[in-house]
Structure 1
Amino acid sequence: MGVKQRVAGGGVDAFRVCFRKAWNPRMAVKPKPESPVTAHRRRQAARGLRRVEVQVRNEDAELLKRIAAALNDAQEAPAARAYLLERFGPPPKDFKQFLTWGPSFEELDLERSRDTGREIDW
């Protein structure tokens, strides 16, 4: 059965024939190239480094940079890491451990006034 016969008959075959697209290698979807940032982070991860972003006060920014540099230096890293672990303890493994290891919630005042400070007319 030829194309004209199928198209003339209508139905699903006609739709498929009319809207069939020939494969064209120029129109094929090419994989998106890896961005330079992604490639850089992948190389850093292969070296065992990880990107960490924090927000600190202006006066603490330089101190934090020096701490990061000390942890990255092969000679200073063991002493800096030992001091930080002694001072702050090991990092928590999961959220439940963070809750037991982290801040004391008994000291926090979690009660708040429900008064919104304005009158509501119903």
Structure 2
Amino acid sequence: MLSAGPERCPFDSWDSSWRLRGLAVVEFARRRGVATALLKSVIVRSHAKGARALWGMTRIAAVPVHTRLGFETIGTQYEVPPAGPHCSTFVRLTDELVSSLSDRQEAANGARRSDGRRRA
């Protein structure tokens, strides 16, 4: 699950920023690319709707997924009770970023068999 929508970024002056909220993947589906697919989809869709930046309060465990997709961390780690340690993340949505994510998705889809499983 992941939601996003227009909300002014507290650490950037862009008027057209969107905030990420509630990235969650059920335990049995973790480490299978679900969070990456959700984030890619939000990046592409929010950019298409006019967003020029995404930001959020990211759990420390999810920071690597975000940074692989171009996000940077802002400031220092902080506690969000009862969820635990977080840091702020931010990415500018450029045509190049969106294009690179689309290219990676097409390459990944090409590596799958017709039944949806990865080719060996």
Same fold (TM over 0.5): no
TM-score by length of 2: 0.26
Which is strand-richer, 1 or 2? Answer: 2
Which is helix-richer, 1 or 2? Answer: 1
- Which structure is higher in RCO with an 8 Å CA cutoff and minimum separation 6? 2
Q: Kindly name which structure, 1 or 2, has the bigger radius of gyration based on alpha carbons.
A: 1
TM-score by length of 1: 0.26
